[in-house]
Chain A
Amino acid sequence: QLQLQESGPGLVRPSETLSLTCTVSGGSIRSSSHYWAWIRQSPEKGLEWIGTIYFTGTTYYNPSLRVTISIDTSTNQFSLKLTSVTAADTALYYCARERAGAIEYWGQGTLVTVSS
């Protein structure tokens, strides 16, 4: 059974960079049929798709966000960096696996608060 687990700081200072890692277990991140995604959820904005990466390193981002997603196939992990954060970036951050037409597996989510 595929599992995804987010990890990273729960508190980030305003203007700094938010960094999260997703560890994939129970399956290979080198799958040719899937993309690996970051999604966040807040009461103000609801569910927001952040971006996605393929195992080759091909990325697609939400143009409204200052984000970089990277992948490490040797450790079965992918990562998110969101720069110059503000209080509006406070949210529950999920990593997930996408296939054509669906987001089929989700991590449990990790809460990130932006505050000084």
Chain B
Amino acid sequence: AIQMTQSPSSLSASVGDRVTITCRASQDIRNDLGWYQQKSGKAPNLLIYTTSKLQNGVPSRFSGSGSGTEFTLTITGLQPEDFATYYCLQDYNRPKTFGQGTKVEIK
């Protein structure tokens, strides 16, 4: 199975900050990567698919980039509602595999 490694595992940031989360794949996954946000007690919520496509209804402060084995989720202008845990998911082949998560906390 493809291994997905996220970094950092946690970070502290302030409202208005620019935040970057990285996900690395153990092999080339082209652009078959998505990002999910999970708030406490809730199911994950799709933010971005196919590396950079914003899901309907997701604010434009979220963006994704990358290809091959390295991918990035950027939040430009962090808002209070963005404090959550973020996961990447490779959709290149099955079994689909998630990163271990990045918890974004309030500084």
Q: List A residues at the B interface (Cβ < 8 Å).
A: 46-49, 51-52, 60-64, 94, 96, 100-104, 106-109
Contact = CB atoms under 8 A, between A and B. Distances in A.
Chain B interface secondary structure, helix, strand, loop or mixed?
loop
Contacts of A60: 94-95
- Interface bin, chain B: 20 to 34
A101 B98 contact: no
A109 B101 CA distance: 18
Nearest to A107: B43
B43 A94 contact: yes
A35 B81 CA distance: 30
Given A46-B100, A47-B98, A48-B98, A102 B91 contact: yes
A96 B34 CA distance: 15
In the complex, the 10 A-B pairs of residues with the closest C-beta atoms, listed nearest first: A106-B43, A102-B49, A47-B98, A62-B95, A49-B96, A101-B49, A101-B50, A60-B94, A46-B100, A101-B91
